[in-house]
Amino acid sequence: MAHKSEELIIDAQDIHKSFGDLQILKGISLQVRRGEVVVLIGASGSGKTTFIRCINLLEDIQGGRIRVNGRAMGYHERADGSLVRDSEHNIARQRRDIGMVFQRFNLFPHMTALENIIEAPIHVLGVRRAEALEQARALLARVGLADKAQHYPSMLSGGQQQRVAIARALAMKPQAMLFDEPTSALDPETVGEVLQVMKQLAEEGMTMLVVTHEMGFAREVADRVVVLDQGELIEQGPPEQIFSRPVHPRTQAFLSRVL
């Protein structure tokens, strides 16, 4: 495993999120250090996806603070303590530090794998096209798809599309990667190829926050497993502790259903 640092990359404090009257996140605090792989587990509807979407500012929060790489994300505080959302321009700039891989791959269907990867580096970071192409080819090779550069998403399997999506996120040279159930939309036979790429990223020292139902991956790759239940963080610890000696009754009940 790569050396873990004490430097905080993601620092979420007391995050509250509601949709109307429905409280989804009830004051979650979580820190992720550089090079750490943190896996979020819990029953469907426990708030895992909402939480990581809040970190990337894809969802507004009603309370709490999020810092990425030491910088406050997306909000500034009024004198009365209420939060005001930053401008979309500033938020877009902050998002560069965080790669996001979604459940559905969200690739541009009219662009080849290569074009999907070079789009943001050229238009957002201002990278020269020749340099972006060289980097994109290297990233495709890194995710095992060097021969698929000119393929459109419709010509690729789900697992291949998800690996292109990972390469596309890496092209922005993020400080951290967020994964929202990256294998749940895949055929069982392609799940392994995506998990293998994620495992390789972890070994290379990428800071990762992963929502997944793949307990084998969590057990093998996570430095820390965090259990969410009904919008609360109820337990966290090393994988061997969470899977072998969970303390919270709700963790025990959840794991007895999935293991």
Mean pLDDT per block of 10 residues along the chain (259 residues) reads 75 95 96 97 95 92 89 80 80 86 92 97 94 97 97 96 97 95 92 96 96 95 97 98 97 94
Tens digit of each residue's pLDDT (9 = 90 or more) over 19-72: 999 999 999 999 999 999 999 999 999 999 999 999 998 998 988 999 998 888
pLDDT at 1: 46
Bridge partner list, 237: 225
> What is the per-residue pLDDT for 4?
65
Looking from the CA of 74 toward its CB, the CA atoms found within 13 Å total 22
Burial of 109: CB neighbours in 10 Å, binned 0-12, 13-18, 19+:
exposed
Q: How far apart are CA 213 and CA 48, in angstroms?
A: 11
Contacts of 143 (CB under 8 A, 6+ apart): 163, 164, 166, 167, 197
Amino acid letter, 2: A
Q: ∠ at Cα 197 (38, 133), nearest 5°?
A: 115
Question: Helices (H), strands (E): how many in the chain?
Answer: 9, 12
Mention every residue, 6+ apart, whose C-beta is less than 8 A from residue 153. Answer: 105, 107, 108, 109, 113, 116, 161, 164
CA–CA separation, 136 and 119 (whole Å): 10
What integer pLDDT is reported at residue 3 of this predicted model? 52
123, with CB counted inside 10 A (0-12, 13-18, 19+), is exposed
- Supply the pTM of this predicted model: 0.92
Provide, rounded to the nearest whole percent, the portion of the chain with pLDDT above 70. 98
